[in-house]
Structure 1
Amino acid sequence: MTVTQERPAAPAAPPPRRPNRLWALLRNSWRQLTSMRTALVLLFLLAIAAIPGSVFPQRAVNTERVTRYYQAHPQLAPWVERLGGFEVYASPWFASIYLLLFTSLVGCIIPRIADHVRALRQAPPDAPKRLQRLPQFADLGSRTGAPAEVASNVAGMLRRHRFRTRVRESEDGSWTVSAEKGYLKETGNLFFHTALLAVLLGVGFGHWYGWHANRILVGGNDSGFCNTLTQYDDSTLGPRVEPSDLPNFCLRLSDFDATFQSTGQPKSFSATVGVSENNGPYETRKFTVNDPLRLDGANVYLLGHGYAPVLKYTDRYGVSQTKVVPFLPMDAMQTSEGVAQFPDVNIDPKTDKRDSTLQMGFEGVYLPTAPTDGRATSVFPAENNPMLYLSAFRGDLGLDVGTPGSVYSLDQSQITSGDLKKVSGDRPYALKLGDTWTLDDGTKLEFVGTRPFATLSIRHDPTQLLALAGAVVGLIGLMFSLSGRRRRVWFRVSQNADLAGSPGESGGTLLTAGGLPRTDYPGFEAEFKALVKAAEEGTP
């Protein structure tokens, strides 16, 4: 009887592991994001996204231009506001491109730096077996001397030409000299991208820890201001900045000097100010458009200038008020528009009560040099023939309701509703310096004179030096990247069997050379020939 023994069944193979699709998606997305192509695309998108910042006025730079844009384009301006066109560099869509580019550069640069350091530490590779197959090849013929001596002389010559060299002895008794040059190209590339990263860091941290503000500073000791948020026309603090962090200084405009060419084009702007730092005495300082005033932790830039008419209003009870009101320039010839509002006038001295229906507002334009034909447009930016054209309004100015409004124009809704009525007729009233205008109720408005004003931008950027250093290093790296050429050269020194076997000869060598450019390098052929010639002259 035959007993058949059954073998145990082989264990079933484990089912193949299903790939994690989420992990694969994340890995592929990261590789795509950190590729050089994506970084270039994001850099191009960032440049395109910055274009609206130069097309539309930016509130952080000049709020007056934003106000004028609203007046000139009342229907388009709200849409531009919704899309962040007046604050491009603080908009979410610009920040998203910025952060993606920053992430892409970090993920791209770090592996490349590791690879570059590894390549610098490695010796040049050994010579290929057949040098004649390389793009450049030369047979230098027979040389006298031992192969090791000839190889040492060739290596010394290559080092003098700033090549990294390595001398090796082969198993067949021949010697090879490997030389490599041109790592400066990749070094320059890494410098450029690291510098770009530094610039992005500087811009980002500058936004966090920086602040900026704008102020119209009218000339005169009574019109100065101190560095507090309440005394600025508009201001923006970084997320990491508190109002108490602002440096302690005060400014007042002593004089403003503007010169113009005969065509009206500005020649020079110069502001003389009194500066008090840390509650100290006022010191006289001077600065221009291209030379900002540098204070402790802040730079004061001169953006523009204009004129502020001085108006004196005498109400029906004989009480006078004088106001200095800046008029905003509308063109290069300083045709300026503005408004003077007197809400606290015509107060009955018997009851000491103010009638809101008797408030006064004057709106119009100021011409530094009025033309002789009566046109309401200045013909030169300097004050050669100053003229003020005003329209008078009486009623409720709408200042008591607390609704924010422009200080350079009257509330049009009050005029539309009839709460503010025009009392000066259809044509504006023209006033020269010193003229007095008597209104229908006996009140008077006198054009006393003008004062210059300067538009100032006060900024603090703690990473300004980092951004500047990044720009300089990036420029140097770009120069290295464009000038560097990667190439390799090999020399093989082998025993000359024919010469070694000749009677009376002690031995000899054969010297061959080959070269390979790693990048497009039109001048490599000439350089290779120069190296071959130097090797011939250095080895007898």
Structure 2
Amino acid sequence: MTDKIYLRLWRFLGSTKLAVVLLGAVILGALVGTLFPQLTPDTVADPAASARWLAAAQEKYGLLFGLYRALGLFDVYHSPWFVALIAILVLNTVVCTVDRLRVLWRAVTARPRIEWPDAFYERIPNRVSLAVASVEEGERALRRVLGRRRYRVLADRRGEMTYLFAERNRLARLATLVTHTSLTLLVLGYLWSGWGGWRERAVALGPGQVYDVGHGQNFAVRSDGLEIERYPNGQPSDYRAHLAVLENGAEVMRKTVRVNDPLTYRGVSFYLYSYGPAAQVHATDAEGQPVPLQAESGQEAASGEVTLNFAGEGDGQEIVVPSRNFTVRLVFYYQGPSLFVQATRSGEARPFGSGSVREGESLKIGDVAFEFALDRYIVLQVVHDPGFKLVIL
């Protein structure tokens, strides 16, 4: 009884009809994923952005929002039902492959039947009769012609009759096995990456700054600067970043990375994505003591030094000086390059101090002296994709 149930289950899982139904369901699911807006990985990784996105979706779909979200229609490709469809499709492919393996292996390795009865040749639609001087001469001629076309020729002699069998591309029968195996590895890689993979798309690091990888990893990466090569007209021709991996505070690996040439350590890859202008700002009082600063990004520095990253020409960043109750706004310009600096007291609209500075210059606002060092930051994409190796097999 148990054997019969097992056999029925095996036949069901290996059914061609099941494969057609599953493929149709996967295609339908993918279609649903194009009809409904999908949460992007960047949005999911940012709780605030995710909350805003879901609020907008709730406003759009009204009472149906809860049902659509419960069905996973806003994240179809990671929803349990879509992953289950893919998993069953993989299982169906594996069972079909196992069922065909014995037949395919026999077809590839077994000696083909060469001798057939005369009635077989009389019934086949494509046949031709040739007059030859002798059986031996006819065999040699056929072998010569077929050999030039890369056919393998086998012969079987029965009395006065000689039977020839020619074939080529015998291993082509295994193509379906290769296709099924490739599909299985591709889908398994997708599932593995979806469950165990993650991606940080925009990690900005200034010179000397350290990024703790997190995600259960106990190492960090440090930016040791950026090099840019330029054409005679000043346009960048190549750029590369120097990265170091730190584990328990000690440097364990170092590499110069370029676009599409990442540093990879313990399955985590660091891709150089872009770069931009940065400014290191150092503040001291009249006695030379550091003045605590707080950057707009939330970066706080009791040491009186912060690093600001600018998106490009005309981009502005702000620094708060809590102990002096004023805010400093800095705007970057490529000419020079230079920074336009403007200070405003809390609650006031009119600035009380401003000026332009270049690399290495300082500016005094009230009793605080600001020194500026211009540099560049890099933007990394940090990726852990455990299924990638399966996909590229």
Question: 1:284-363, aligned counterparts within 5 Å?
Answer: 285-311=255-281, 320-322=291-293, 323=301, 324-327=306-309, 329=311, 333=312, 336=315, 340=319, 345-346=322-323
Question: Counterpart in 2 of 1:75?
Answer: 56
How many aligned positions are there? 361
Distance 1:328 1:78 in 2: 35
Question: Counterpart in 1 of 2:4?
Answer: none
Code of the residue aligned with 2:99 in structure 1: it is P
Give SS of 1:196's match.
helix
Question: Counterpart in 1 of 2:42?
Answer: 59
2:210 to 209, 218, 224: 224
Is this contact kept in 2: 1:220–1:253, CA < 8 A? yes
Q: TM-score, normalised by structure 1?
A: 0.50
Residue 195 of structure 1 pairs with residue 148 of structure 2:
no
Is this contact kept in 1: 2:114–2:164, CA < 8 A? no
Residue 144 of structure 1 pairs with residue 115 of structure 2:
no
Distance 1:68 1:256 in 2: 31
Question: Counterpart in 1 of 2:167?
Answer: 180
2:241 to 245, 268, 271: 271
Distance 2:161 2:351 in 1: 104
Give SS of 2:180's match.
helix
Question: Counterpart in 1 of 2:83?
Answer: 95
Give SS of 1:289's match.
coil
If each structure's strand is expressed as a fraction of its own residues, which one has the higher value? 2
Distance 2:388 2:378 in 1: 25
Question: 1:446-457, aligned counterparts within 5 Å?
Answer: 446=370, 448-457=372-381
Code of the residue aligned with 2:187 in structure 1: it is L
1:368 to 332, 337, 341: 332
Distance 1:88 1:325 in 2: 40
Distance 2:331 2:389 in 1: 43
Question: Counterpart in 1 of 2:15?
Answer: 31
Question: Counterpart in 2 of 1:114?
Answer: 102
Distance 2:79 2:372 in 1: 45
Code of the residue aligned with 1:140 in structure 2: it is L
CA drift of 1:466 comes to 3.1
CA drift of 1:321 comes to 1.2
- Structure 1, gaps ≥5 residues long: 1-22, 230-234, 236-242, 347-357, 370-379, 395-422, 470-540
Question: Counterpart in 2 of 1:384?
Answer: 337
CA drift of 1:292 comes to 0.9
Distance 2:203 2:134 in 1: 86
Give SS of 2:130's match.
strand
Change (3 A) 1:183 1:340: farther
Change (3 A) 1:159 1:256: same
Distance 2:97 2:376 in 1: 53
Distance 2:145 2:33 in 1: 52
Give SS of 1:432's match.
strand
CA drift of 1:460 comes to 3.8
Give SS of 2:349's match.
coil
Change (3 A) 1:142 1:215: closer
Cα-to-partner distance string for 1:26-62 (whole Å, 9 max, x where unaligned): 9768625543x4576567568768879x9975329x9
Distance 2:229 2:77 in 1: 34
Code of the residue aligned with 2:339 in structure 1: it is P
Distance 2:239 2:53 in 1: 27
Is this contact kept in 2: 1:299–1:458, CA < 8 A? yes
More relative contact order, 1 or 2 (CA 8 Å, 6+ apart): 1
Is this contact kept in 1: 2:10–2:95, CA < 8 A? no
CA drift of 1:141 comes to 1.1
2:112 to 123, 127, 131: 123
Change (3 A) 1:298 1:283: closer
Provide the identity percentage: 19
Question: Counterpart in 2 of 1:254?
Answer: 224
Question: Counterpart in 2 of 1:489?
Answer: none
Give SS of 2:187's match.
helix
Give SS of 2:225's match.
strand
Change (3 A) 1:98 1:169: same
Give SS of 2:257's match.
strand
Distance 1:436 1:86 in 2: 53
